[in-house]
Chain A
Amino acid sequence: MAGTLIIGASQAGVQLASSLRELGYTDPVTLVGAKEHPPYQRPPLSKALLLGDATPESLLFRAPGFYPDQGIDLVTGERVVTVEKAADGSGIATSASGRRFPFDRLALTVGARARRLPVPGNDLAGVHYLRDSGEALRLREQLQQASDVLVVGGGFIGLEVAASARTLGRSVTVVLADDRLMNRAVQPPISDFFAEAHRRRGVDVHFGVALSRFVDDGAGRVGRVELADGRTFQADLVVVGIGAVPRTELAEQLGLAVDDGVVVDEHGVAPDGTTVAAGDCVSCPSPVPGPFGRMRFESVSTAVEQAKVAAATLAGVPVPYRAAPWFWSDQFDLKLQAAGLSAVADRYVVRGDPAAEKFSVLYYCDGLLVAAECVNSPADLMAVRTALAKGRTVPPELADDTSVPLKKLMQDVAVGAAEDWAATPPRRRGEILQRAFALLQERKDDFALVMTREMGKPLAEAYGEITYGGEFLRWFAEEAPRISGRYGDNPAGTGRIVVSRRPVGPCYLITPWNFPLAMATRKIAPALAAGCTVVVKPAELTPLTTLLFTALLTEAGVPAGVVNVVTTSEPGPLSARLIGDRRLRKLSFTGSTPVGRRLLAQAADNVLRTSMELGGNAPFLVFADADLDAAVDGAMAAKFRRRSSRSTPRTRPSPWPTTPSTAWRATSTPPTSPAGTA
């Protein structure tokens, strides 16, 4: 047994290996790294290591004994250059030295390489990149003699190097092509603050700069830098930090999809169904809800979380990748910490005082907290990370009050509506449903017309559905005040058993096209009567009746946020996202068995309560002594009423066998007439 081969002794690689063992994975685990030294932390390379506050040895993730103790075969100094794999996921990797690594399952944690700057002179001595510890040590040595340091790039690495060099007393200039600092990672308020903070500390920052070439000082070393606009800067040491490029060569060899990273699903699995990948080399679905496409992250937290997800997949206990990303950057005495995805924000609130260099920027989308970027405010960052993980938010109008800890301001807004509705007296919930019933009767002409135009059933059938669907409003209006539990002594006589019932929580309701009103009322009415809030997704073909009905519910007195409708022409991804939301507690679906089966599988992740009205056969049994005219009338009424789908069409009109079959062991004296369900 060859077990799992992890290529890349990176943050993700080490995490993946140790997570496999934590999950009880017993097959061999081999972790192969290209470098000679054991795996180490990269973030300090641009900070503590440059300043001399850390040694390479102090950066090791684990003591050398950890790997053998855990049964992890750590192989260093072997760069894997080819991989071959069979359809079952097993294969062989070969290193540059010719060493072969067989595997049953393959994990890619190969990371990214520094993006190179394609300008003349970039191979001169004194032009540095910073990605690994060897490069960091060489840069540290060079920094001792340098006088004019030029940093190309305004991302984390560039700015951290600039801060380190300036702290060491060097003259430092930062030039970047963008018009603001760290623009891939943070929003303008933070970019602007850091530009000023660097300038206050003596760093010369220039935006919108295009480099033309590095100029030789006459001794094979960089002496100055020329810009496209003709300006020149003195520089005897250049550090280029213009981003990283994912290492995708092995994935490409395997024929895996690559899109700015190895394409994986929410379980870290590549499209071949067997290879997993994690960390900087990965292009993954967004781990948080929002209008995001595929994403590639370069941070410790994302590498760790993705590695845990990939390990869970390999260990046979898959969990989806859902952790809100967070990251940090230390520049001078400024600790920048950020959590969430701020790019989607439509509003922000500044909390604290930027002039005091201690503040947070909270980002909102549609009134909900989605991200925060904090400067020297670790408590705020922790509060926001917890909030994002638990689906909480801070009302934006309260967020700037620094006299109250952010943690105390957190509210569960999504569940806030749920709490209020659950606390609404059952009698009141019933009255609202009664009002909805009455309004529906008043508006039946509107509803019938919309339904008929929307999905084509005859108008008379539409009126029939309003009668049928309306009854659910009336029935559950009457049920709402009758929710009860029970009470009794325990058998030992030492205590009393109280059984109470309460709303299960937020529900996701998926309705079909064939009864656009009745299938909505049949789910919404009991949910509201019970005290649950709902998200309704009507069939993609028939959203209008549902929208008209939910407007009616609002008019009847259902508070905002209690009934929510989402419409889509692509239900699969939307439903997967909603079902994966940790706040959801119940899923109800009416539709086909194959789709229901898939939804049940998705619902298992959150252990949701489920109600499934699925397809199947509705036998129509006609006995030997039946009144055949009545049987034919009954069959026609049920099966061909609308020439369209019904939940219970008689799909198998079948004569009841005179001689009972083995499958259906009927009584010897069968009932006398046609039967059917509806």
Chain B
Amino acid sequence: MIDRLDTGMLGLNAGVISDAAAPFGGVKQSGVGREGGAEGIAEYLATKYTLIPR
């Protein structure tokens, strides 16, 4: 059931689910990106790859 609901967030028997430790955000035209949780800080970080030859 949970897998089949195409949403960014889901509250199971819960009406208010916002939490600083959880990724808040929607799918499709409700937006891109997440706020809160580890995902929230990743939105403000750029990834850099360095190859160090042996």
Contacts and interface: CB of A to CB of B under 8 A. Distances in A.
A614 B52 contact: no
Given A616-B29, A667-B1, A635 B15 contact: yes
Given A472-B20, A475-B20, A614-B31, A504 B46 contact: yes
Contact of B21 (A475, A485, A490, A505): A475
Given A530-B45, A588-B43, A678-B18, 4 more contacts: A475-B37, A503-B45, A634-B15, A677-B17
Given A474-B20, A596-B31, A678 B45 contact: no
Contacts of A472: 20, 36, 40
B30 A637 contact: no
A630 B49 CA distance: 51
Contacts of B31: 593, 596, 611-614, 616
Contacts of B49: 497-499
B16 A503 contact: no
B30 A616 contact: yes
For the side of the interface on B, what is the size category? 35 or more
B15 A611 contact: no
Contacts of B18: 468, 648, 678
A671 interface: yes
Nearest to A476: B41
B53 A495 contact: yes
Interface of A: 468, 471-472, 474-476, 479-480, 483, 485, 490, 493-505, 507, 522-523, 526-527, 529-532, 585-586, 588, 593, 596-597, 609-616, 619, 630, 634-635, 637-638, 648, 664-667, 670-671, 673-678
Given A522-B36, A676-B11, A676-B15, A593 B30 contact: yes
A505 B20 CA distance: 23
17 contacts: A475-B21, A479-B38, A490-B51, A497-B52, A500-B50, A504-B45, A505-B46, A523-B35, A529-B44, A612-B31, A613-B31, A614-B31, A634-B13, A637-B16, A676-B15, A676-B17, A678-B9
Contact of A476 (B4, B25, B40, B51): B40
Contact of B15 (A476, A619, A678): A678
Contacts of B5: 664
A501 B53 contact: no
Interface of A is mostly: mixed
Contact of B41 (A483, A638, A648): A483
A475 B37 CA distance: 8
What 3 A-B pairs come out closest when comparing CB atoms?
A611-B33, A530-B44, A616-B30
B41 A526 contact: yes
Contacts of A471: 19-21
Interface of B: 1, 4-5, 7, 9-21, 24-26, 28-38, 40-54
A504 B44 contact: yes
Contacts of B9: 648, 677-678
B20 A675 contact: no
Contacts of B33: 588, 610-613
A678 B14 contact: yes
A495 B14 contact: no
A613 B47 contact: no
B46 A502 contact: yes
A497 B48 contact: no
B48 A532 contact: no
B18 to A, nearest CB: 6
Nearest to B26: A616
Contacts of A634: 13-15
**B7, B19, B29, B41: which has the most chain A beta carbons within 10 Å?**
B41
B30 A586 contact: no
A526 B28 CA distance: 23
**A493, A507, A529, A675: which has the most chain B beta carbons within 10 Å?**
A675
A495 B53 CA distance: 4
B11 A532 contact: no
Contacts of B51: 490, 495-498
Given A495-B53, A526-B35, A614 B29 contact: yes
Nearest to B9: A677
A475 B54 contact: no
Nearest to A493: B54
Contacts of B46: 501-505, 585, 609
**A586, A613, A614, A637: which has the most chain B beta carbons within 10 Å?**
A613
A642 to B, nearest CB: 12
B8 to A, nearest CB: 8
A495 B24 contact: no
A494 B52 CA distance: 9
Contacts of A614: 26, 29-31
